[in-house]
Each structure stands twice: as C-alpha cells, then as structure tokens.
Amino acid sequence: MLGFSKKETDRAEAVADNAVMQGRSLLADARLRFRQNKAAMGSCVILGLIVAFVIIGPFFAVWDHETIDWTAMGDVVGLGAPSISSGHYFGVDDLGRDLYSRTIQATQTSLLVGLIGAGMALVVGTFYGIIAGYFGGRLDGLMMRFVDILLAIPTTLVIILILVVAGKSFTTLFLALGAVSWLTMSRIVRGQTLALKRREFIEAARAGGVSDAGIVTRHILPNLAGVVIVYASLLVPDMILAESFISFLGLGISEPNTSLGALIAEGAGTMAYGTIWQLLFPLFFYVTIIITMFFIGDGLRDALDPKDR
C-alpha cells in the first residue's frame, strides 16, 4: 500500500479542488452562488407559497369574488369581519363581496402584470438594443435618440394617456406598461452589445465567415443573458408598482376584476369606518411580493455578476 506525506496529500487536494472549480460551468457556479444567498432563497420559498395560494386557494373559497353577501352588506363592520364560520376568511369589502376570493384574483392579476410587462420589456428591449449596438453608426444614433425622446416623457403620463384613449382593460394595461418598460432595457443591452462586439472572439467569428445573425444568436445573446435576466427580474416589481399606482388613481382594471393596487385603494378609502381588514390583507400580499421579488433580483445579480467570479 502506497503512503503519502501530508504535504503531498494537501497538494493533491488543492489540485483536485482547482480542477473542480475550473470544470464547473458558469451556470452551475451561478446556481451555487444563488443558493448560498439566504435572503434570495428565502424569498423564493415565500413567493412560491404565494403562487401556491393563488393556485390552490380558490378550491377553499366559499364565496365567488362577484357574489354579494347581502346580510353582511347591511352591517359590514359587525358582520363583515374575517370569520371562518361565515366563509369570509378575509372578511368582506364595502359592497359585501368576499375579500378572500377578491384577494386571490387581485394577486393573480398583479403577478400577471409584472411577468407580462417584464416579458415585453425583455423581448422588445433586447431586440432593439442589439440592433442599435451591433450595427452602430447612424442607425444607432437615430434609434437611441428616439429612446431618449420617449424617456424624457414621464412614463406615468404615457400610461395614463394610453388608458384614457384606448379604454381600461387587461390588454390595454399590458400594452401601456409594455410601451414604456422596454426603454431602459434597450439602453442596457445596447451598451453591453457595443462592448461585446469589440471582443476578440467576435472578431474571430467574423473573420471565420459567420454571418451577423449567427454572431448575434451564438455569441452576443448568450453573453447578454445574465444582464438581461437580472434586469428583467428587477423589472417585475416595478411593473407591479406602476400598475398599483395607476389603479390607485382609478385608471386601472375595471370592475368586477381587480388588482392589489385597486384593493389597497378601496381599503384605504374605507379604513376610517373600522374595516381595517380591507386594507391589511391586500397590503400584506402586495408588500410581500414586492420585497421578495427585489431580494430575488438582487440574488440573481450577485450570482450572475461576472466581476464576482
């Protein structure tokens, strides 16, 4: 049996550890770094529980979100408080509708607004920024001046104008948020593309006869993935905040549909009458979603930041 000294053993272990580090892919490294972020992982668990509540919650609902409890409506403060026996787990609103079912629907709406708004910004902003940054020249100048002009206009004003002209609906709200959410994304992608296209591997691919489309899809996009994913994750809570502000102004989704922003606005308006639950339940879900999404986005940024590797 062969024997090794402690020095040789330590050296072998160091070489093995180095080989493991070198052999580990960037994706695996990012996954490990994200899992080590306790705040991000805890936020993922909490957000997962909220999503599970939104999916499973309707099966436990006694009342529909549109059904009016006429008995509770006559005395919302006395009979409309949260109660398991009445089936109103979160109480009722000022019109006698079940707040539990309406909170589930509002959470679904707010999550959809955040995801679809961020998705539109991801697709449009990435496509626009890559074209401007890769081809450069006058095309880049023209495209980015257009972005600068749109950024000079207050985004809230643009959203309100679109909703007033086109009417209040799910589709209009998504289009209004998507119309302003891609601008910053395009500037970020354009700056990253300008830096990437001067790298040696891009020059080598171009010298090897690879087409512009091939360079973009095989070399530019994969290297932009980290930055784009991080910004998109941070954009989700921004979209939810924007929708909530619009709903608070009364220009959001129309009844009988609702969102967390609309429920918070209703709860704030009736809080003086003693129905504090109308504000607390939607506000709890709203604040929890916003905080968890920011922690997840921050965790993704730390995990995918090439400067920390």
Rounded CA-CA distance 295/281 in Å is 22
Q: Which of 38, 18, 6 minimizes the C-alpha distance to 295?
A: 38
Contacts of 212 (CB under 8 A, 6+ apart): 134
* 259-302 pLDDT tens trace: 888 888 888 888 878 888 889 999 999 999 999 988 988 888 88
Cα distance between residue 293 and residue 113, in whole Å: 14
Helix (H) or strand (E) holding 30: helix 26-35
Is 167 a member of any domain? yes
Question: Would residue 117 count as lying in a domain?
Answer: yes
Judge whether 22 lies within some domain.
no
Instruction: Say how far apart CA 34 and CA 219 lie, in whole Å.
Output: 24
- Torsion, Cα 244 250 254 257, to 10 degrees, reads 40
Q: Is residue 42 part of a domain?
A: no
Q: Which domain holds residue 249?
A: 104-309
Between the CA of residue 89 and those of 51, 92, 93, 100, what are the distances in Å? 18, 9, 12, 6
Closest CA to 147 of 192, 188, 185, 183: 183
pTM of the model: 0.78
Any idea what the CATH number is for the domain that residue 272 is in? 1.10.3720.10
Closest to 125 in 3D by CA, of 52, 195, 78, 185 = 185
With a cut of 60, say whether residue 2 has pLDDT above it.
no
- Residue 285 confidence (pLDDT): 94
Quote the pLDDT of residue 307: 52
Is the residue at 184 inside a domain? yes
Q: Does the residue 63 lie in any domain?
A: no
Q: Is residue 227 part of a domain?
A: yes
- Whether 56 maps to a domain, the answer reads no
**Which whole number is the average pLDDT over 165-186?**
83
Question: What was the pLDDT predicted at 197?
Answer: 83
Domain count, the chain: 1
